[in-house]
Structure 1
Amino acid sequence: MRLGIMIFKFAHLLPKSARLGALVGIAALALAGCASTEADDFADFVDDTRPPAVMFNEALATMERGDYRAAAEQFDELEQVHPYSEYAKRSLVLGAFSHFSSGRYPEAVNAGRRYVTLHPSGEDAAYAQFIVAQSYYNQIPDVNRDQEQTARAINAFRDLIRRYPDSEYVGPAQEQIRFANDQLAGSEMRVGRYYLDRRNYVASINRFRVVIEEYQTTRHVEEALHRVVENYMSMGVVDEAQTAAAVLGHNFPDSEWYQRSYRLLQSGGLEPQENSGSWISRAFAGFTGQGS
């Protein structure tokens, strides 16, 4: 059954035309693998309860038809009716994927977490954790809304990398973390601009500072440095404005945001000049660029 699960794990990454064939292959593998144990499964038959092998293959067939919502319910039922069977273990991860594929993300999270909790060293534990993280990731809202799901996605992806560093899901997890961090930085930028427009300079700087110190590898950091220049110039704190511009020019010399900062300083008869003791300089100590 391992081969069937491996085919299934990647089926959602395939085009729909290829996905159907992959799932048909799973059903065939499952039927072949279960045939030899059919008699044993029926020995556990109680009242009108179907044997786990029958329930499992019915759920696979439902999934093959593309009815992920119904398949998820069938996998859930199997896990509840036969919790100690090997099929229950398989059903947890397949049920998590089916919930995910039908857009029922809370249910996918619950099933994935249950698998990781019960089978932390199982062959599909990394995949189950990936489903948990991806379920949060798919619920990330735009930057104008609360970013709780974004933070949850990052934490879940980081758990995957920490617990399963050799899994094939580490690369995709790292990529999703980069996007999620960009989203969090974008949210901070939005609030920072809001305060800047209302001349609440201290509150504005605090928001841009979060981007500068925590999200340096996102696309927002260049603008954040420029907005800090704007804030400090408006406050008359020219030393910090010069430092922010100098750091911006040093790390992003071709940035349009640096050109804006440079012109702003020139309008006040100033030049970029870094103060190594500034929090801005300390934040960029050892910075090697956005691709680092």
Structure 2
Amino acid sequence: MVLAAVVAAAFPLAGCSGAPSWNLFGGGQDAANLPDEPAEKLYNEGIALQNRRSWRQAALKFMEIDRTHPYTEWAKRALVMAAYSYYEAQDYDETINQARRFLQLHPGAPDAAYAQYLMGAAQYDQIPDVNRDQGRTERALVVLEEITRKWPQSEYATAARRKIEVARDQLAGREMMVGRYYLERRQFPGAINRFRTVVSQFQTTRHVEEALARLVESYMALGIVNEAQTAAAVLGHNFPDSQWYKDSYKLVSSQGLQPREDTGSWISRAFRRVTG
């Protein structure tokens, strides 16, 4: 993934005249008393390091501006540039720290949406595979969804929505994996709870067809035929060409039943809430 950094215009480097002289016998100016380098000089040096893809060194240079010239416009610019540099260095914890600090100090700044996106991207890039705990996925989703709420027309909202789709699919995949685990062990109530989560919260993901079919299977096993018929009917209405629907139809009809939607069922209400 390529992130477009919001790079402020570089400024000419400050002059270097008046450098102190040194000798081997301890003469010269004490380094502790040297004046701070001008912020614009440090900023340009940070940009130069970015251009050489020396991301960590660039981040440190921008952080030096924040340290030596706090509460200035240069420090404000440098903070978000440090977050971007840390992101490119794949130091995701520092990316999140600096982006969050920028948002705390400058919540209304033009670069606030970008800082929020950097936080979300740093969480997103650490999403684990579906077999592991999905805490980072959930945190990424929270941060990315905030972009779409606060800055819905920004370019970062468009990029965030693409990541949100992937994150939601990942969470649904985790629920399906656990649901199948319960189903294979005939622990049907536990399986139903997982498949219900997918149908209720993640029905725009690619997992919803299977979730409905697994609900048919689970409810039929428990003898709750009304809910099984409803799940099959909703599956057929929304995905008539799905193999999952064909399998569910066969299972229901094998018991002399037909898919039939009960509009009072939670399954029917869940789909009306999204499509209605």
TM over 0.5: yes
Among 131, 140, 151, the alignment partner of 1:153 is 140
Check if 1:85 corresponds to 2:72.
yes
Q: Deviations over 1:118-160 (max 9, x none)?
A: 1111121111111011111111111111111111111111222
CA contact (8 A) 1:52 1:85 kept: no
Deviation at 1:112, TM superposition (A): 0.8
Partner amino acid for 1:114? R
Distance in 1 of aligned mates of 2:16 and 2:127: 44
Structure 1 residue runs without a partner (length 5+)? 1-10, 15-21, 40-44
Partner amino acid for 1:219? R
CA contact (8 A) 1:133 1:157 kept: yes
Tell which deviates more after alignment, 197-206 or 259-268: 259-268
Q: Which residue of structure 2 aligns with residue 49 of structure 1?
A: 36
Check if 1:30 corresponds to 2:10.
yes
Question: Higher Cα Rg: structure 1 or 2?
Answer: 2
Check if 1:130 corresponds to 2:117.
yes
Q: Deviations over 1:183-210 (max 9, x none)?
A: 1111100000000011100000000000
Among 249, 253, 256, the alignment partner of 1:269 is 256
Q: Which residue of structure 2 aligns with residue 74 of structure 1?
A: 61
Q: Which residue of structure 2 aligns with residue 8 of structure 1?
A: none
Q: Which residue of structure 1 aligns with residue 160 of structure 2?
A: 173
Check if 1:247 corresponds to 2:234.
yes
Q: Which residue of structure 2 aligns with residue 190 of structure 1?
A: 177
What's the Cα RMSD here?
2.5
Structure 2 residue runs without a partner (length 5+)? 18-31
Deviation at 1:13, TM superposition (A): 4.6
Deviation at 1:265, TM superposition (A): 1.3
Deviation at 1:261, TM superposition (A): 0.3
Q: Deviations over 1:49-75 (max 9, x none)?
A: 322122111111111100111111221
Tell which deviates more after alignment, 114-123 or 241-250: 114-123
Deviation at 1:243, TM superposition (A): 1.0
With structure 2 as the length reference, what TM-score do the two structures score?
A: 0.88
Partner amino acid for 1:30? A
Q: Which residue of structure 2 aligns with residue 284 of structure 1?
A: 271
Distance in 2 of aligned mates of 1:287 and 1:84: 46
SS in 2 for 1:169: helix
How many aligned positions are there? 262
Distance in 2 of aligned mates of 1:171 and 1:125: 15
CA contact (8 A) 2:11 2:41 kept: no
Deviation at 1:214, TM superposition (A): 0.6
Q: Deviations over 1:253-272 (max 9, x none)?
A: 11111011011112222211
Moved over 6 A (4+): none
Q: Which residue of structure 2 aligns with residue 116 of structure 1?
A: 103
Partner amino acid for 1:110? N
Partner amino acid for 2:194? R
Counterparts of 1:179-258 in structure 2, within 5 Å, are 179-258=166-245
Deviation at 1:48, TM superposition (A): 4.7
Among 246, 250, 262, the alignment partner of 1:259 is 246
CA contact (8 A) 1:192 1:204 kept: yes
Deviation at 1:166, TM superposition (A): 3.0
Distance in 1 of aligned mates of 2:215 and 2:158: 34
